[in-house]
Copies of this chain bind each other. A is one copy, B any other.
Amino acid sequence: MTFRRALHFPHLKPALFYGLGGGLLIALLRYIEYQHFVRAYPNELYGGMLALIFTVIGIHLGLRWTRRQEVAPEPRPFATNPEAIREIGITPRELEILGLIAEGLSNREIGERLFVSENTVKTHSSRVFEKLGVNRRVQAAQKGKDLGLIP
C-alpha cells in the first residue's frame, strides 16, 4: 500500500541458480579432468566443451533476462468500463486526468484545461500510475485503453 519500491531483485534468483550451476559444472569438469580426460585428450577438447557449455548458458541468460523486460500481457476478458474502474479504485478526477494524458497533453496543459495547478495534475497522475502499476504516461495511456477505462 505504501512502498512497493521495496528492495526486490527479480534477477537475483536466476543469477544464483546459474552461478551455482556453473560452479557445479566446473567442479564436474575438473573431476573428469583429473580422472583422465585431459590426460587422454588434448586441452582443446576441454576448452571447446567449456566454450560450448557457457555459450549455451549465455544464450539462456540473455533470453531469460530480456523476457523479463516485456510488459505484462494483462488478460482482461470480462472487465469493461465500470467494473474495471471500480476494481482498480480509480477516482473520477484521476480518470479525467488519465484521459487527457492519453490525448498527449502535458501536465501544464491538463492543469489549464481543468483549471487546477500543474502540481495537482502531477499528484493525480502519480496516483494513476500507482494504481495502474506503471511509471510512464505512455504506459498509463495504453493500459487505460486496454482496461476500457478510456476510449
Residues of A within 8 A of B (CB): 22, 26, 29-30, 33, 38, 43-44, 46-48, 50-63, 65-66, 69, 71, 101-104, 106, 109, 113, 134, 136-139, 141-142
The answer for the CA separation of A138 and B136 in the assembled complex, in Å, is 10
Closest chain B residue to A101, Cβ basis: B138
Query: How far apart sit A50 and B30, CA to CA, in the bound complex (Å)?
Result: 14
Report the bound CA distance from A70 to B113 in whole Å.
Answer: 10
- Interface of A: prevailing SS: helix
> Hey, which chain B residues are within 8 Å of A55, CB to CB?
54-55, 57-58, 61
> For A101, what are the chain B residues with a Cβ–Cβ distance below 8 Å?
138
With a CB–CB cut-off of 8 A, which chain B residues contact A138? Answer: 101-104, 137-138, 141
A42: nearest chain-B partner, CB-CB: B30
Tell me if B63 and A47 are in contact (CB < 8 A).
Answer: no
Contact A71 B142 (CB under 8 A): no
Nearest 5 CB-CB pairings of A with B: A58-B58, A62-B62, A104-B139, A59-B62, A55-B58
Q: B69 touching A109 by the CB < 8 A rule?
A: yes
Sample (14) of A-B pairs whose CB atoms are under 8 Å apart: A26-B47, A26-B48, A33-B43, A50-B50, A54-B58, A59-B65, A62-B63, A63-B63, A102-B138, A102-B142, A103-B139, A104-B142, A137-B138, A138-B138
